[in-house]
């Protein structure tokens, strides 16, 4: 099992005929993802390596039954592309694009809610259910099939954590890079709920970072609602206040959003917090009695 994507995922790639879209389409296809369509206005009737191209997401959904979309669309047009996918009936949108104005994401959020569309991102690497489906730009060689779910605000930290797990013989059910922008789609609580309900996910790794209070909210939710073992890591432990570190959301303001506060919240919820990524596999093995 897995969450969000699996062998039944039917993917449409918005921006497939662009440089990045084309490159990553081939990577996803090679992994075994069922890519049923691409969308590039003005190119309907053509195909890219056997994948049909449509002018609109609505046309792609009607012709292929696509249920998931991934965006490789320039930031200026990405919010409209997200809204288009949602209005066309797509149930999961993965917005890889970075640099989308926060106000644009806020503008499309009610559209997603109205249509029951879930979103990962923006400014994220996407997600993978190892052995089943890849939607995004994740490096597949480091992933392995197993029973540990992973949620991370950082793309590169996702790769580091997964590499530590795989190297130590710990496979993954689904790994998700949620993005580090101030406003994103699915966040920790929604994904923790899905992993808690997934019978084949036995433990969860949560990778957080400074800024905001999402980790504190996640800790409170874990304490009350999550029965499976959760281990965590917080990036930015040496970050100075008032200076943005990497992501737009990774900013300590007025003493809030510090790594220390987040670590204390997790520890109070019974979540072990690693000082370094290399400790995560040991914590997982201890939690699972291995």
Residues that are catalytic: 247
Give, to the nearest 10 degrees, the angle between helix 280-287 and helix 155-167. 60
Of 233, 229, 239, 244, which Cα lies nearest the Cα of 290? 229
**CA distances in angstroms from 197 to 1, 4, 50, 64, 146, listed in the order given:** 11, 12, 37, 29, 16
With 0-12 CB in 10 A as exposed, 13-18 as middle and 19+ as buried, what is 115? middle
- The whole-angstrom separation of Cα 55 and Cα 141 is 33
Closest CA to 148 of 229, 216, 223, 92: 229
**C-alpha neighbours within 13 Å on the C-beta side of residue 195:** 31
């Amino acid at each position: 099992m897995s969450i969000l994507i699996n062998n039944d995922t039917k993917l449409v790639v918005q921006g497939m005929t662009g440089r990045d879209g084309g490159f990553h389409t081939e990577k996803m296809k090679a992994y075994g993802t069922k890519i049923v369509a691409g969308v590039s206005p003005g190119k309907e009737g053509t195909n890219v390596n056997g994948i049909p191209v449509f002018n609109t997401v609505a046309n792609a959904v009607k012709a292929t039954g696509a249920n998931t979309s991934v965006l490789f669309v320039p930031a200026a047009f990405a919010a409209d592309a997200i809204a288009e996918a949602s209005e066309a009936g797509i149930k999961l949108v993965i917005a890889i694009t970075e640099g989308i104005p926060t106000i644009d994401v806020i503008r499309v959020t009610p559209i997603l809610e109205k249509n029951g569309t879930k979103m990962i991102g923006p400014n994220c690497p996407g997600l993978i259910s190892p052995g089943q489906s890849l939607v995004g730009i994740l490096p597949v060689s480091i992933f392995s099939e197993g029973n540990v779910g992973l949620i991370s605000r950082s793309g590169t930290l996702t790769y580091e954590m997964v590499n530590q797990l795989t190297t130590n013989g710990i496979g993954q059910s689904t790994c998700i890079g949620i993005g580090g922008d101030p406003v994103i789609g699915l966040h920790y609580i929604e994904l923790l709920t899905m992993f808690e309900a997934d019978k084949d996910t036995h433990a969860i790794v949560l990778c957080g970072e400074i800024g905001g209070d999402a980790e504190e909210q996640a800790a409170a939710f874990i304490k009350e609602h999550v029965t499976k073992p959760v281990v965590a890591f917080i990036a930015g432990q040496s970050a100075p206040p008032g200076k943005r570190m990497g992501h737009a959301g990774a900013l300590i303001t007025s003493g809030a959003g510090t790594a220390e506060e987040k670590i204390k919240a997790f520890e109070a919820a019974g979540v072990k917090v690693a000082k370094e990524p290399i400790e995560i596999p040991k914590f997982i093995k201890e939690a699972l009695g291995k």
